[in-house]
């Protein structure tokens, strides 16, 4: 009988943010606006990099893939969250839940690898500019991108596959606005120790490798910049990596806050908003507003559009 009851749990309730009618409408409008800006900003950046030949360089290819993954993250979380503001039951099926976990894990794992690759790209551009086209060729960039997506897919599939071994016979309420791995572990009536072990075994090496790559790259960049004699050279070197440094700092600060041990589930929600909603919103603006090549490419595309029109 217990086995039968365990197998019946095929839906969850996402508790979300609030039940207050006015706050629900206000939050819906805010998050809907954020979602639209995020999708337009990221997909617009992808389209710009794809169409503008001057941006077909390793740095912008990696940036385009980062924007694509940010769009994936936003699409995995926000539409269901917006629907639940006006849903009476706020239900999500088991398979929808697994899909959210899969695409979120895919996007965030890919972000880690892409940000590390972009840090290495900045290191080569500043520390070995004469060897840039050899050390950071388009072939290497393509291999890194393909490897990133293969590793991210495998990482996501492993954790989703392990989640499917669990049975959920406790409360069906997930005290979150989306399906995340740790809240699902709390609802499991199957011992999730293997899942937690595998989460650390696979996630920790990825975090250590990518963070170490970023730190090593920027340490070398700083030493190179401080050895430069001209102020103009220092200013140009700083300007080439300030956008990426800001983006990677925000990402890893939020990531470390998000994965920290926490017994209070309410504290996870504000950090999750930063990690899954705010970062995808900020990235296209961080990389675009201070980037002359992106701005010039956008102006060129707008001029071409006006000519065609």
The answer, yes or no, to whether residue 263 has pLDDT greater than 70, is no
pLDDT at 226: 84
- Which token pair is 279? 């970062």
Domain extent, residue 107, equals 11-292
Q: Specify the pTM.
A: 0.88
Q: Where are the beta strands (DSSP E) in 100-183?
A: 173-174
Total domain count for the chain?
Answer: 1
Q: What is the pLDDT of residue 170?
A: 65
Question: What length does the chain have?
Answer: 309
| Mean model confidence pLDDT for the chain | 85
Confidence of residue 305 (pLDDT cuts 50, 70, 90): low
- H/E stretch holding 13 reads strand 11-14
Residue 288: pLDDT band with limits 50, 70, 90: confident
Strands 173-174 and 11-14: parallel
Q: How confident is the model at residue 300 (pLDDT cuts 50, 70, 90)?
A: confident
- CATH number of residue 22's parent domain: 1.20.1070.10
Residue 6 placed within a domain: no
Instruction: Kindly give, in sequence order, each residue whose CB lies less than 8 Å from that of residue 74, ignoring residues fewer than 6 positions away.
Output: 35, 38, 39, 42, 276, 277, 280
Write phi, then psi, for 212 (nearest 5 degrees).
-65, -40
First-to-final CA distance of the chain: 68
Asked if the structure places residue 5 within a domain, the reply is no
240 versus 166: the higher-pLDDT residue is: 166
* CB atoms near residue 277 (< 10 Å): 21
Looking at 53-62, 103-112, 115-124, which range is the least confident one? 53-62
Is 252 among the domain residues? Answer: yes
Q: Is residue 267 part of a domain?
A: yes
pLDDT value, residue 208: 92
Please state, in angstroms and rounded to a whole number, the distance separating the CA atoms of residues 47 and 119.
23
Residue 140 lies in a domain: yes
pLDDT bracket for residue 252 (50, 70, 90): confident
Is 243 inside a domain boundary? yes
Most confident of 16-30, 46-60, 108-122: 108-122
Range with lowest mean pLDDT among 1-10, 14-23, 112-121, 163-172: 1-10
In a domain, 82, yes or no: yes
Residue 49 DSSP SS3: helix
196-247 pLDDT tens trace: 899 889 989 999 999 999 999 999 998 888 888 777 777 777 777 888 888 8
Residue 105: closest CA among 170, 34, 198, 187: 198
- Looking at residue 265, its pLDDT comes to 56
**Per-residue confidence (pLDDT) for residue 286, from 0 to 100:** 86
> Is residue 307 one of the residues assigned to a domain?
no
């Amino acid at each position: 009988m217990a086995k039968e009851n365990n197998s019946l749990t095929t839906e969850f309730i996402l508790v979300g943010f609030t039940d207050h009618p006015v706050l629900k409408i206000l939050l819906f409008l805010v998050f809907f606006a954020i979602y639209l800006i995020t999708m337009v900003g990221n997909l617009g950046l992808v389209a710009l990099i794809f169409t503008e030949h001057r941006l077909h360089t390793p740095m912008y290819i990696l940036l385009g893939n980062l924007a694509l993954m940010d769009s994936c993250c936003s699409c995995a979380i926000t539409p269901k969250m917006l629907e639940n503001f006006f849903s009476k039951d706020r239900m999500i099926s088991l398979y929808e839940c697994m899909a959210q976990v899969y695409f979120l894990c895919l996007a965030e794992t890919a972000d880690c690898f892409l940000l590390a690759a972009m840090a290495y790209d900045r290191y080569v551009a500043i520390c070995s500019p004469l060897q840039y086209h050899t050390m950071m060729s388009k072939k290497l960039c393509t291999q890194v991108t393909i490897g990133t997506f293969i590793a991210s897919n495998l990482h996501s599939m492993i954790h989703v596959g392990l989640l499917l071994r669990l049975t959920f016979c406790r409360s069906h309420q997930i005290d979150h606005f989306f399906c995340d791995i740790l809240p699902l572990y709390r609802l499991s009536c199957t011992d999730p120790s293997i899942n937690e072990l595998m989460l650390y075994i696979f996630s920790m090496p990825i975090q250590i490798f990518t963070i170490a790559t970023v730190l090593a790259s920027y340490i070398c960049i700083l030493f190179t910049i401080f050895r430069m004699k001209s102020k103009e050279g220092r200013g140009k070197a700083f300007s080439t990596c300030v956008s990426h440094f800001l983006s990677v700092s925000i990402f890893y600060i939020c990531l470390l806050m998000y994965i920290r041990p926490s017994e209070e589930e309410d504290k996870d929600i504000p950090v999750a908003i930063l990690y899954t909603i705010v970062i995808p919103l900020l990235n296209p603006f961080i990389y675009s507003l201070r980037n002359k090549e992106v701005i010039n490419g956008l102006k060129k595309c707008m001029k071409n559009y006006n000519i065609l029109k």
